[in-house]
Amino acid sequence: MPAKEVLDFYGLKGPIGYIRYAFRFLRNFAFDKMAFFCPIKSWRTALHRWKGIKIGKGVYIGHEVIFDRIFPDQIEIGDHTSIGDRSIITAHANIPSATPLRELYPRTIKKTIIGNGVWIMPNVTLIPGVKIGDESVIATGSVVTKDVPPRTLAGGVPAKVLKKL
């Protein structure tokens, strides 16, 4: 995503805004890499918080979880939620290369919200703007493209509600 669009989103202007964002991006990049390789779960969670992700109490974040690197502050995770290894949680989508597809798929930035007591199994992908309801379970390998109601099991590609809990 071009820096100008990110700066506009955050209301940053001019060279000072660009420098502030550059430092924030580099800081978040460093925290992201440290969290990715960190073997201690409480440190992983702290590093992701420092990137700007809103993370509740008692949250478990598995190994090699990838959170949106440009807009981490657009991701919220409720209390006592568990996120499995190698999951991907995004808050923006864009096509970085110059292609006519950009007109069909414009850049989007949307809050991604994970409720309280949610269990996201390993290798799950959440696209920008989805909301996972409290105490829901997302099955291994699912791609969540729509909101998941509270207290349900969802799974598949794309994920759909499999049963009420």
In SS3 terms, 114-164 reads as ECCCCEECCCCEECCCCEECCCCEECCCCEECCCECCCEEEEECCEEEEEE
**Contact between 138 and 156 (Cβ < 8 Å):** no
Give the residue among 104, 99, 136, 100 at the shortest CA–CA distance from 119: 136
Verify whether residue 92 is a known catalytic residue.
yes
Residue type, 144: V
Segment (H or E) for 88: strand 88-89
Task: List residues with catalytic annotation.
Answer: 92
